[in-house]
């Protein structure tokens, strides 16, 4: 049974469709031109891609890899497998790591808290390997944990061969996968996410500056991570909050630190200026009411189990429509959460979200007399 319902915007940003300027006749302005190997701008709440280019192409992530290293480390902290005050003995391998460094000394004992700051703020390869060895016994075993976590998060085009982001033929990710990872960091580890906004950090009498220039240039930006190698170019994943929205921008393969910052800032500004995200339906909110036969009640409310956020070009929410398709005959008993229909949110001919509709309550079988009456009604219907 199809129903067409008007959409009422209720508040704050789930759809996984790509939304690009070329395919979207409602967009107010063309997106900025970005000189990078690949990029993606995604809304955190709706998970909708606003602008993208080569978003699913495999590329070197450089030190953006440490986002996954930090995610795994924080998962271990949350599981209480390690503690922030645990002391980690720095191995010679960790000490000898090339690239960016936290300047830990071989044989020194450094607590997990200090090393985690070295990973996130300083992008220290030595701190990253030291924690990898402490958690898994070896960097190789830790990398296996990273790849399992990537699979669990749905990063299906990502594979890590080290914990730091040094180049490797089997070390790659995509802009879309890195956006998924950024969202997971913000969602799953809000306590440690504040580290990504820390502008500088000092250890062993060496003060180092966070390489994310946007922390100084844009007060709305509160993370995440930079990366650079000669082969990967200059990369940046950043997130910002503004106008009840949170956006995640991923830029890979620019030619300078300033270029990656400017490209990322341009994407964020475009998203905030021309798009908006709102919560259309809350979890467990009745969206439609359907008749139920042979039950203790005559009607049943259907809705969603999770909040539904939609991102659309500004000024277009009043043009959204919700199309509801439910089972023609629903017979009691039903259970809470039973799948009984689908819902599609559309803007013109474009689908913006498709979701399952479930029963929001249990309905038990009615009396024998009521069941017999409904059997007669169903027969003549």
pLDDT at 363 exceeding the cut of 70: yes
Given this model, what pLDDT does residue 127 score?
Answer: 96
Given this model, what pLDDT does residue 380 score?
Answer: 64
| pLDDT tens column, 84-116 | 999 999 999 999 999 888 999 999 999 999 999
Structural contact between residues 66 and 142, judged by C-beta atoms closer than 8 angstroms: no
Domain C-terminal end among 251, 274, 297: 274
ω into 297 cis (within 30 of 0): no
Structural contact between residues 186 and 193, judged by C-beta atoms closer than 8 angstroms: yes
Domain C-terminal end among 274, 297, 327: 274
Counted domains in the chain: 2
Given this model, what pLDDT does residue 9 score?
Answer: 36
Q: Are residues 152 and 256 in the same domain?
A: yes
Q: Which of 66, 117, 225, 294 is catalytic?
A: 66
SS3 track for the chain: CEEEEECCCCCCCCCCCECCHHHCCCCCCCCCCCCCCEEEEEECCCCCEEEEECCCCCECCHHHHHHHHHHHHHHHHHCCCCCCCCEEECCHHHHCCCCCCCCCCCCCEEEHHHHHHHHHCCCCHHHHHHHHHHHHCCHHHHHHHHHHHHHHHCCCCCECCCCCCCCCCCCEECHHHHHHHHHHHHHHCHHHHHHHHCCEEEECCEEEECCCCHHHHCCCEEEEEEEEECCCEEEEEEEEEECCEEEEEEEEEECCHHHHHHHHHHHHHHHHHHEEEEEEECCCCCCEEEECECECCCEEEEECCCCEEEEEECCCHHHEEEEEEECCCCECCECCCCEEEEEEEEECCEEEEEEEEEECCCECECCHHHHHHHHHHHHHC
Spatial separation of the C-alpha atoms in residues 69 and 149, rounded to whole Å: 10
pLDDT at 20 exceeding the cut of 60: no
Given this model, what pLDDT does residue 17 score?
Answer: 38
Domain C-terminal end among 219, 254, 274: 274
pLDDT at 329 exceeding the cut of 90: no
Q: Are residues 218 and 334 in the same domain?
A: no
Q: Are residues 268 and 321 in the same domain?
A: no
Report the predicted TM-score, pTM, of the whole model to 2 decimal places: 0.88
Does 252 reside within a domain?
yes
Residue 173 among the catalytic residues: no
Q: Which of 15, 46, 63, 239 is catalytic?
A: 63
Q: Are residues 44 and 150 in the same domain?
A: yes
pLDDT at 124 exceeding the cut of 80: yes
Q: Region 58-72: what's the mean pLDDT? A: 98
Mean model confidence pLDDT for the chain: 90
Q: Are residues 75 and 6 in the same domain?
A: no
Does 7 reside within a domain?
yes
Residues pairing with 52 in the sheet: 40
pLDDT at 320 exceeding the cut of 50: yes
pLDDT at 353 exceeding the cut of 80: yes
More confident call, 348 vs 281? 281
Q: Are residues 265 and 287 in the same domain?
A: no
Give, rounded to a whole angstrom, the gap between the first and last alpha carbons of the chain: 15
| pLDDT tens column, 246-294 | 999 999 999 999 999 999 999 999 999 999 999 999 999 999 999 887 7
Q: Which of 123, 163, 173, 192 is catalytic?
A: 123
Spatial separation of the C-alpha atoms in residues 141 and 136, rounded to whole Å: 6
Q: Are residues 252 and 350 in the same domain?
A: no
Does 25 reside within a domain?
no
Q: Are residues 241 and 287 in the same domain?
A: no
Residue 13 binned pLDDT confidence (cut-offs 50, 70, 90): very low
Residue 18 among the catalytic residues: no
Q: What CATH number corresponds to the domain at position 53?
A: 3.40.710.10
Structural domain for 323, as ranges: 2-14+282-380
Spatial separation of the C-alpha atoms in residues 237 and 117, rounded to whole Å: 18
Q: Are residues 149 and 244 in the same domain?
A: yes
Residue 328 among the catalytic residues: no
Name the residue among 323, 349, 359, 298 with its Cα closest to residue 6. 323
pLDDT at 12 exceeding the cut of 50: no
Least confident of 22-26, 80-84, 338-342: 22-26
pLDDT at 15 exceeding the cut of 60: no
Least confident of 34-38, 155-159, 246-250, 362-366: 362-366
Q: Are residues 263 and 324 in the same domain?
A: no
Does 64 reside within a domain?
yes
| pLDDT tens column, 70-82 | 999 999 999 999 9
Does 19 reside within a domain?
no
Q: Are residues 58 and 98 in the same domain?
A: yes
Given this model, what pLDDT does residue 372 score?
Answer: 65
Does 22 reside within a domain?
no
Does 24 reside within a domain?
no
| pLDDT tens column, 166-217 | 999 999 999 999 999 999 999 999 999 999 999 998 888 888 899 999 999 9
Q: Are residues 364 and 325 in the same domain?
A: yes
Does 296 reside within a domain?
yes
Given this model, what pLDDT does residue 216 score?
Answer: 96
pLDDT at 25 exceeding the cut of 80: no
pLDDT at 139 exceeding the cut of 70: yes
Give percent of the chain above pLDDT 70.
Answer: 89
- 304: tokens are 């969603």
CA angle 59, 128, 254 (to 5 degrees): 30
Given this model, what pLDDT does residue 18 score?
Answer: 39
């Amino acid at each position: 049974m199809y129903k067409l319902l008007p959409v009422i915007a209720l508040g704050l940003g789930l759809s996984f469709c790509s939304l690009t300027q070329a395919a979207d006749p409602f967009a107010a302005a063309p997106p900025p031109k970005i000189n990078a190997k690949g990029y993606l701008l995604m809304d955190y709440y709706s998970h909708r891609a606003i602008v993208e280019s080569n978003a699913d192409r495999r590329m070197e992530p450089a030190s953006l890899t440490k986002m996954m290293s930090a995610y795994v480390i924080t998962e271990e902290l949350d599981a209480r497998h390690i503690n922030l005050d645990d002391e980690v003995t720095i191995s010679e391998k960790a000490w000898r790591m090339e690239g960016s460094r936290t300047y830990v000394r071989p044989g020194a004992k450094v607590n997990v808290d200090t090393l985690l700051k070295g990973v996130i703020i300083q992008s220290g390869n030595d701190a990253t390997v030291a924690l990898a060895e402490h958690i898994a016994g070896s960097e190789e075993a830790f990398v296996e944990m990273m790849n399992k976590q990537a699979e669990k998060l749905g990063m299906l085009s990502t594979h890590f061969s080290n914990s730091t982001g040094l180049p490797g033929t089997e070390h790659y990710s995509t802009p879309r996968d890195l956006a998924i990872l950024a969202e997971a960091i913000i969602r799953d580890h809000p306590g440690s996410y504040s580290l990504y906004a820390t502008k500088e950090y000092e250890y062993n009498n060496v003060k180092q500056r966070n390489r994310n220039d946007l922390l100084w240039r844009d007060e709305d930006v509160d993370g995440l991570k930079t990366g650079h190698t000669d082969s990967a170019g200059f990369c940046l994943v950043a997130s910002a909050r503004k106008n009840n929205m949170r956006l995640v921008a991923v830029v890979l393969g620019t030619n300078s630190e300033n270029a990656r910052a400017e490209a990322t800032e341009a994407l964020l500004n475009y998203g905030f200026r021309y798009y908006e995200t709102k919560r259309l339906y809350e979890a467990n909110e009745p969206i439609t009411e359907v008749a139920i036969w042979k039950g203790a009640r005559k009607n049943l409310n259907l809705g969603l189990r999770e909040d539904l956020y939609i991102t659309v070009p500004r000024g277009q929410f009043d043009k959204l429509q919700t199309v509801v398709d439910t089972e023609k005959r629903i017979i009691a008993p039903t259970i809470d959460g039973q799948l009984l229909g689908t819902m599609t949110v559309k803007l013109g001919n474009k689908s913006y979200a498709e979701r399952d509709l479930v029963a929001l309550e249990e309905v038990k079988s009615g009396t024998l007399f009521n069941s017999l009456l409904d059997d007669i009604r169903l027969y003549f219907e």
